[in-house]
Structure 1
Amino acid sequence: MDMSHSLVEIERSDWAQLRDLYVHKRTESVGYQCLKNFISWIDQEPSESIKLLSLDGDWKTDGTFIIVANIGGCLKHVYFNTLTENLERLKIALNCLEGKSGDYLLFGYSAHLIPALENFAKRLTGKPLLPGEQEETVWYHASKKLVDSFTINVPEGIKLADLVIENAEQINEIWPHRAPGSVDFVRRLILYNVSVGAFDGAGNLIAWCLRLPLGSLGLLHVTDGQKRKGLGSLLVRYMSKKLAELGDEALAPVVVKNVASRSMFEKLGFRQIDSVYWSAV
């Protein structure tokens, strides 16, 4: 850890000012919408364990920040970004994070930020962060014009409704990235963010789409026996319109290996604008 520098917590009264520095980064994974998301969470529940940190107290110069969020699961989430192409201050800031191997999940960082992780990951794990240890996703975006063109035709016998906390167990149980305590993360997504579920005539939840802390779509799933009916596409279009109503961009990370999901997003007209990564360190 770099002892000549330190991380200083950014006062909550300054979070909106930091967010607005990223107003031109509305489609980045950890940018305007991510900061807006966490401001909303704290407004709804001030006791949430979410900290915004700056290097040596200076975030106004180049927008360098780190978010450490203990929001469910066995790992603390770390989100980070900077407005400068020179990643040196971000690299130093990350290296100031205290911890040990197995403490953190680096959440949804853009490909261009990977060089900033080198020293931090090596200090925690004792080795460089290898490409195979980073979960790569395609970062998709739908333009406002495209979202405006989306139609919502709900099949007969299907009802779309907001998810409720009681749905979290079912969603977490099927989630490929579930881990000890991850159900609490899912509960927070339902509690604080917009979401949608598709329910059959008997009231059974058969498909869903949530919103990640990045501000993007996430955890999209259609249960077995309900696939190939267009429900995934329907929920993506529905949620994209919900985000547009909030003045936000329609964004989505899709695991590179998930060819079927990538094909669906691209068929809808979503365009890849970045590669975004997750890694546990």
Structure 2
Amino acid sequence: MDKLVEIPLQGLIDLREIYKREWPKEDIGFYVLTNFINWLEKKLFVENFHAYSLNGDYSDGTFVILYMTKLFGHTLNKDTSRLRRALCLLDLDGTSYYRYYYNDQDRSAVWSFIKEKQIVTRNEWEFIWYYLTPEIGSKIIVPPLPKGFVAETIREVDLPEVNEAWLFRYPKSIDRLKWLIRYNENIGLYTESGELAAWVLRYEFGAVAMLHVKDDFRRQGLGMYLAKAISKKIADAGGYASGTIKEENEVSNRIFESIGYEKNGIMYCIEILPSSPISDGNN
């Protein structure tokens, strides 16, 4: 009988090495594992984090990670049935929203899982998935910051504004942003008077994202500055930068491609809705 088996930290490190051999071809799993390994190695507080293999075997790259209400499940096996079986063993909280991030390789398993468990979903979004080699990232030349601005970590007091501007926000998504600015690379550009003018964050699956410049501060090169600065910061620390951008976001796509990011297929995100009507949101 199938069962989910928790993967310890060393197991996650071993699993990442399997994915690293396939990078950048199969890179979403690599970025997900790298992010959570970094958090665990730094002994950061990782609430409600579980990494599972199917029956204790992850030799084919099959794993599932459940972090708060974020779901990541991937495999390197062309036969995705083991991933589907692992997903079907998850005990999801019926009062919560979930978001599942996956690629083309895993999509058939995801939809089989959804149909088999009769899960109600909404909004399967598609994003262009980009990656940046560390070699190119380390050579990025960050332009001078325009006069009148200072770059620093995004202040927690400004998160309501960041959350409100996020196209893909959801109930209680601000809680997710709190963890991201504490644990992952992020940059906020502030005016001399202390107003937040522009920002960029990095998701749990390693993607540079949420790049935003407020209307009053556009056409000053702030978007390009942010994209280059955070990408170089990641590369200089030995990391692998990636990005997810909607196809219709032509400005951000041009910025990332001009820096040296390369397209690597499509990443999907789907919303899993509560099975119980009593839920009031997400973590």
Cα distance, 1:237–1:84 mapped onto 2, change above 3 Å? same
Aligned to 1:73: none
Q: Using structure 2 for the length normalisation, give the TM-score.
A: 0.86
Q: Report SS of the residue matched to 1:275.
A: strand
- Tell me how many residue pairs correspond in the alignment: 268
Cα distance, 1:9–1:78 mapped onto 2, change above 3 Å? same
Aligned to 2:278: none
Aligned to 2:16: 19
Cα distance, 1:31–1:262 mapped onto 2, change above 3 Å? same
Q: Structure 2 residue aligned with 1:139, among 117, 129, 148?
A: 129
Please give the alpha-carbon distance, in whole angstroms, between the structure 1 residues aligned to 2:124 and 2:54: 25
Please give the alpha-carbon distance, in whole angstroms, between the structure 2 residues aligned to 1:211 and 1:30: 14
Please give the alpha-carbon distance, in whole angstroms, between the structure 1 residues aligned to 2:174 and 2:48: 16
Counterpart of 2:103, as a letter, is S
Say which is worse superposed, 87-96 or 43-52, in terms of deviation. 43-52
Please give the alpha-carbon distance, in whole angstroms, between the structure 2 residues aligned to 1:6 and 1:207: 46
Deviation at 1:142, TM superposition (A): 2.8
Q: Alignment identity in percent?
A: 30
Counterpart of 1:9, as a letter, is E
Q: Report SS of the residue matched to 1:184.
A: helix
Please give the alpha-carbon distance, in whole angstroms, between the structure 2 residues aligned to 1:58 and 1:145: 34
Alignment gaps of 5+ in structure 2: 273-283
Please give the residue correspondences for 1:98-113 in structure 2 after superposition, counting only pairs within 5 Å: 98-99=91-92, 100=94, 103-107=97-101, 109-113=102-106
Q: Are 1:270 and 2:269 matched, yes or no?
A: no
Please give the alpha-carbon distance, in whole angstroms, between the structure 2 residues aligned to 1:146 and 1:45: 29
Deviation at 1:256, TM superposition (A): 1.9
Q: Structure 2 residue aligned with 1:229, among 212, 220, 224?
A: 220
Q: Is the 8 A contact 2:60 2:76 kept in 1?
A: yes
Q: Is the 8 A contact 2:99 2:270 kept in 1?
A: yes
Q: Report SS of the residue matched to 1:210.
A: strand
Query: Can you list the C-alpha shifts for 1:230-249, whole angstroms capped at 9, x where unaligned?
Result: 11111000001011012112
Q: Structure 1 residue aligned with 2:245, among 251, 254, 267?
A: 254
Q: Structure 2 residue aligned with 1:181, among 172, 180, 190?
A: 172
Deviation at 1:30, TM superposition (A): 2.7
Q: Is the 8 A contact 1:30 1:80 kept in 2?
A: no
Aligned to 2:30: 32
Counterpart of 1:49, as a letter, is N
Q: Report SS of the residue matched to 1:236.
A: helix
Cα distance, 1:25–1:48 mapped onto 2, change above 3 Å? farther
Counterpart of 2:206, as a letter, is G
Aligned-CA RMSD value: 2.2
Q: Using structure 1 for the length normalisation, give the TM-score.
A: 0.87
Please give the alpha-carbon distance, in whole angstroms, between the structure 2 residues aligned to 1:159 and 1:103: 37
Q: Report SS of the residue matched to 2:216.
A: coil
Please give the alpha-carbon distance, in whole angstroms, between the structure 2 residues aligned to 1:202 and 1:25: 47
